[in-house]
Chains A and B, each alone.
Chain A
């Protein structure tokens, strides 16, 4: 099934998304990968606020190439999500509701997704040039010194992704590995 969804996502909308569905996302999303997650975890540990209000938001695990003159952003595809697994359950418990990346997640992340009624999307790895066309605005909002790993606020239009882990805990990758998917 195909869905056109707009951020911030609500739990009602997420409840309609099922593993294997395709989505087109429009609105604001935030980038954060390894180093930014580490800093956010440190901030929380020190009792400091996160650099943006993550409630109801989507984090895109992505570090772009520099934008060429006249471009909004460079190549901008997903990175492997499992490297963020250590930090993710805490963020989900604090209100993060969606993630875009690629690859498998840990059981702890899966549990936190179900507990919080959240969703994990995959974007196509290796399609960074194509995906950059769905990004119409980009600005660094925190941790600028991290370069490509800084937190960016992106404005996306019809950003294509696939529901890999839905709020019920169904895991598309697992279904493919077990040969039980209806995808093909």
Chain B
């Protein structure tokens, strides 16, 4: 069977990314709002309750005034799944993505937090470039996810190369330790994305992608679902609590993605996010 090539104008990519940058920064998805509400209902510490109540008020104000939930509107991480029957027309795809970020961050009154060189550190002034992850899939659609990532929590993320013998307990300990070390710096309650398997870079990318998963769902793999629940329970047993000031809600969700790996290794990527776990998706 021969498939038709579908032409997609990159201008559509630009405008989709522009809109998603703004939308993601001023409001959270329903699942994250639900997680916050559940946390408030379950919190036993008075100071923890007070922090969570203020985070809910904050979300309400951000939505009503259409201002960012957090001043750190992040570096724009963009995942694109491109159907292999798609042909992009109208310009350079990479430039179209960056133009979307440029327009979104400028027109949406979002903060410009990107420097052009990690050592020379001059602000680019428009929050470009994005960090773009491309993958090819069958079909003729283009799925774009924009996930602006703040750095208070990004700085507390890590990759750990465990040994196969470390097993499940090793993974649990590594994630709980990362959360403990992050402490108040990562603005708990956190959302934790974990990538297990693959290689050094693959587990880190999966950890990032795990943050874009719906927190109302769990892994389809029974042992991974169990692991998601177990790690969340152990994290919340630390007592760190909202803002690191004590309480039973240190994390709101743990999601895990896995990939086959080498006989000699057990790579684990741990990407920490705060409750402002922003992501928007469209299909073109």
Is the Cβ of A124 less than 8 Å from the Cβ of B246?
no
Q: Report the number of A-B residue pairs with Cβ-Cβ less than 8 Å.
A: 154
Partner of B70, one of A71, A77, A147, A184: A77
Tell me if A's interface is mostly helix, strand, loop or mixed.
loop
A residues in contact with B240, CB < 8 Å: 176-177
Minimum distance in angstroms from A41 CB to a CB of chain B? 14
B-contacting 9-mer, from A9-17, A42-50, A59-67 = A59-67
B-contacting 9-mer, from A86-94, A106-114, A127-135, A151-159 = A127-135
Q: How many residues of B contact A (CB 8 A)?
A: 48
Is A6 interfacial (CB 8 A cutoff)? no
Is the Cβ of B239 less than 8 Å from the Cβ of A176?
yes
Q: Report the Cα distance A121→B54, complex, angstroms.
A: 17
A-contacting 9-mer, from B61-69, B75-83, B253-261 = B61-69
Q: Report the Cα distance A68→B57, complex, angstroms.
A: 20
Say which size band chain A's interface belongs to: 35 or more
A residues in contact with B155, CB < 8 Å: 80
Minimum distance in angstroms from A176 CB to a CB of chain B? 5
Assuming the A-B contacts A133-B61, A176-B241, are A62 and B187 also in contact, with contact meaning beta carbons closer than 8 angstroms in the complex? no
Within 8 A of A (CB), among B22-67: 44-48, 51, 54-55, 57-59, 61-62, 65-67
**Chain B residue nearest in CB terms to A70:** B65
Is the Cβ of A65 less than 8 Å from the Cβ of B68?
yes
Q: Report the Cα distance A124→B113, complex, angstroms.
A: 20
As a 0/1 sequence over residues 135 to 168 of chain A, the CB contacts with chain B under 8 angstroms (1 = contact) are 0000000000011110000000000101000000
A residues in contact with B180, CB < 8 Å: 177
Is the Cβ of A183 less than 8 Å from the Cβ of B47?
yes
Within 8 A of A (CB), among B88-104: none
Assuming the A-B contacts A65-B110, A74-B68, A103-B185, are A184 and B246 also in contact, with contact meaning beta carbons closer than 8 angstroms in the complex? yes
Partner of B183, one of A65, A104, A128, A148: A104
Q: Report the Cα distance A145→B124, complex, angstroms.
A: 11
Q: Report the Cα distance A127→B56, complex, angstroms.
A: 9
Is the Cβ of A128 less than 8 Å from the Cβ of B58?
yes
Is B125 interfacial (CB 8 A cutoff)? yes
Is the Cβ of A184 less than 8 Å from the Cβ of B185?
no
Minimum distance in angstroms from A148 CB to a CB of chain B? 5
Q: Which residues of A contact B (CB under 8 A)?
A: 35, 62-68, 71, 74-77, 79-80, 82, 102-104, 122, 124-133, 146-149, 160, 162, 172-173, 176-177, 179, 181, 183-184
20 more CB-based (< 8 A) A-B contacts, given A35-B121, A74-B71, A75-B111: A62-B71, A65-B67, A68-B65, A71-B65, A74-B68, A74-B111, A80-B155, A82-B185, A102-B243, A124-B243, A126-B276, A127-B58, A129-B62, A129-B70, A146-B123, A173-B184, A176-B244, A177-B240, A183-B46, A184-B44
Q: Which residues of B contact A (CB under 8 A)?
A: 44-48, 51, 54-55, 57-59, 61-62, 65-73, 109-113, 121, 123, 125, 152, 155, 180, 183-185, 187, 239-241, 243-247, 274-276
Report the 9 A-B pairs with minimum CB-CB distance, sorted nearest first.
A184-B45, A125-B187, A103-B185, A130-B58, A129-B62, A128-B71, A75-B68, A75-B71, A127-B58
